[in-house]
Amino acid sequence: LIVEDEEAIRSGLMDLFVYHGYEVDYADDGRAGLDKALSGAFDLILLDVMLPGINGFEICERIREKEREQPIIMLTAKSSDEEIIQGLSLGADDYVAKPFSVAQLVLRVQAVLRRSRVVQSQQQTIALGEDVELDVLNLSARVGSRTVTFTRREMEILQYLHANAERPVSRAELLNKVWGYARDLDLETRTVDIHIAKLRRKIEQNPA
Q: Domain-by-domain residue ranges, the chain?
A: 2-116, 125-203
What is the pLDDT at residue 79? 61
Measured CA to CA, the distance from residue 1 to residue 47 in angstroms comes to: 8
For residue range 157-179, what is the model confidence (pLDDT) as tens digits?
999 999 899 999 999 899 888 88
Q: Which CATH number fits domain 2-116: 1.10.10.1100, 3.40.50.720, 3.20.20.70, 3.40.50.2300?
A: 3.40.50.2300
What is the pLDDT at residue 112? 86
Residues with Cβ within 8 Å of residue 84, at least 6 apart in sequence: 76, 95, 97, 190, 194
What is the pLDDT at residue 78? 63
Q: Which CATH number fits domain 125-203: 3.40.30.10, 2.40.128.520, 1.10.10.10, 2.60.40.3500?
A: 1.10.10.10
Residue 105 one-letter amino acid: L
Q: How far is CA 65 from each of CA 16, 74, 93, rounded to the nearest angstrom?
A: 30, 17, 15
Residue among 112, 115, 161 at smallest CA distance from 134: 161
Question: pLDDT averaged over the chain?
Answer: 88
* Residue spans of the chain under pLDDT 70: 78-79, 117-123, 186, 205-208
What is the pLDDT at residue 119? 47
